[in-house]
Structure 1
Amino acid sequence: MIGLVLAAGAGRRLRPYTDTLPKALVPVDGETTVLDLTLGNFAEIGLTEAAIIVGYRKEAVYERKEALERTYGLKLTLIDNDKAEEWNNAYSLWCGRDSVRHDVILANGDTVHPVSVEKTLLAARGGDKKIILALDTVKQLADEEMKVVADPGKGVRKITKLMDPAAATGEYIGVTLIEGSAADELADALRTTFERDPDRYYEDGYQELVDRGFRIDVAPIGDVAWVEIDNHDDLARGREIACRY
């Protein structure tokens, strides 16, 4: 198993930080970045390799690659997303399709979360589960969250921001365990998704899989402090959380 980080996004709502850095390299605890926290989580669960999808301001990640490898004991592979500033992240995850063949824990490059999330996903493995989403079933939801409706017997039925929060089982937090056996079907669903509309999220690719009859499971993470960093208010919350980890 390897780690996979989506770190190609521009994060324009975090300017001026993202004038020169991708969102994943915005500091959240001293000089520690979201990417540092994620790679630290990967190392703590015993991973020795990780791939990072880079795009916007990718040179900043390339410059730090060797230092990150030394710090976290991970062999890093950087994968270029040539459309990072034009297309959304369904295409970005598709760029990492070969990495998924190894079994991966995927983490969005803007999600501050504790290693307990990765441990929860690993504990949920087994049986015929191929894709498992980390799900927050505690948080009060609003319009912006990536909401999920899950059935205990059938797994994910719906994943989208565009639903009544009251109808959702919980929020997908941007961390997924993907078994290598799902790689080809996921890659095909992602391709279908971004060819239909390049502005789609990879979660729309998950929905495409579900619509095809593919089972996606969820793992509730419990009452855990985490945040997806989209704007300066989120960044302030991320800094409050990151110092605990």
Structure 2
Amino acid sequence: MIGLVLAAGAGRRLRPYTDTLPKALVPVGPEGDEESLTVLDLTLGNFAEVGLTEVGVIVGYRKEAVYERRAALEAKYGLKITLIDNDKAEEWNNAYSLWCGRDALKDGVILANGDTVHPVSVEKTLLAARGDGKRIILALDTVKSLADEEMKVVVDPDKGVQRITKLMDPAEATGEYIGVTLIEGDAAEELADALRATFERDPQLYYEDGYQELVNRGFKIDVQPIGDVSWVEIDNHDDLAKGREIACQY
């Protein structure tokens, strides 16, 4: 099993940082310290801590910044990092971005969004949940109060994920998908096909819409609650401030 990070996004709501950096390289350490840790640092550190030795990073917007840092990140975290180019990162949404990493999926991956600050307990929880025929396991926050922007999930205790979308009444949801998934290698082909169908239908769709496509085809996607842990998806400057508070705890 390897790590896989979606780090192709522009993150325009985080300007001026993202004038020159992809969102995954925005500093989440002390404000003003441009050499501080980034979301990518934190995620790579988590992967290393759970014993992964190889990581694929899907890059697009300002990818040269990731290329420049690759050797230093490999040395720092003891990982072999392969960069995977997304040629449509500034045009299409991340269903296509994850499809670009379809070859990596065959090894089995822990997938992490490049804008999610979260503790290593999330990876440990997903790894502990493996087995019993589970092929895709989503990390689910069942504690947080939900609003319109969150990626909400409805789960059937026996059938797994039934719906995954932002476009849902929060009161209907079982919880929020936090942007971290364990994907077994034997799910790779079916997931890649679902992602292709998704972005061919509409290139602005999310990879979570690809998960919904899988569910609609009869594929069982499981979830694993992560407990009461601090995490944040960094979309804007308010999220970044929260991310800095959380990052210093880990």
> Once the 2 structures are TM-superposed, how far is the Cα of residue 127 of structure 1 from its aligned partner?
1.3
Please tell me whether residue 2 in structure 1 is matched to residue 16 in structure 2: no
Q: Matched residues in 2 for 1:168 and 1:124: separation? A: 21
Q: Matched residues in 2 for 1:236 and 1:161: separation? A: 23
**Mapping of residues 153-232 of structure 1, within 5 Å:** 153-232=158-237
Please tell me whether residue 24 in structure 1 is matched to residue 29 in structure 2: no
Q: Which amino acid aligns with 2:71?
A: E
Q: Which amino acid aligns with 1:224?
A: V
Please tell me whether residue 129 in structure 1 is matched to residue 134 in structure 2: yes
Choose from 232, 235, 243 the match for 2:240. Answer: 235
RMSD: 0.4
Instruction: Please give the TM-score of this superposition, normalised by the length of structure 1.
Output: 1.00
Q: Which amino acid aligns with 1:240?
A: E
Q: Matched residues in 2 for 1:152 and 1:4: separation? A: 28
DSSP-derived class of the 2:124 partner = helix
> Once the 2 structures are TM-superposed, how far is the Cα of residue 211 of structure 1 from its aligned partner?
0.2
Q: Matched residues in 1 for 2:175 and 2:126: separation? A: 16
DSSP-derived class of the 1:29 partner = coil
Q: Matched residues in 1 for 2:80 and 2:181: separation? A: 20
> Deviating runs (4+, > 2 A) in structure 1?
none
Choose from 70, 81, 85 the match for 1:80. Answer: 85
DSSP-derived class of the 1:114 partner = coil
> Once the 2 structures are TM-superposed, how far is the Cα of residue 68 of structure 1 from its aligned partner?
0.1
The Cα offsets for residues 189-225 of structure 1, whole Å up to 9 and x where unpaired, read as 0000000000000000000000000000000000000
Q: Matched residues in 2 for 1:162 and 1:123: separation? A: 31
**Mapping of residues 19-168 of structure 1, within 5 Å:** 19-30=19-30, 31-168=36-173
Instruction: Please give the TM-score of this superposition, normalised by the length of structure 2.
Output: 0.98
The Cα offsets for residues 25-55 of structure 1, whole Å up to 9 and x where unpaired, read as 0000141000000000000000000000000
Give the length in aligned residue pairs.
245
The Cα offsets for residues 36-80 of structure 1, whole Å up to 9 and x where unpaired, read as 000000000000000000000000000000000000000000000
Q: Which amino acid aligns with 1:173?
A: I
Q: Percent identity?
A: 84
Q: Which amino acid aligns with 1:15?
A: R
Other-structure match for 2:33: none
Q: Which amino acid aligns with 2:96?
A: Y
Q: Matched residues in 2 for 1:89 and 1:150: separation? A: 23
Q: Matched residues in 2 for 1:45 and 1:140: separation? A: 29
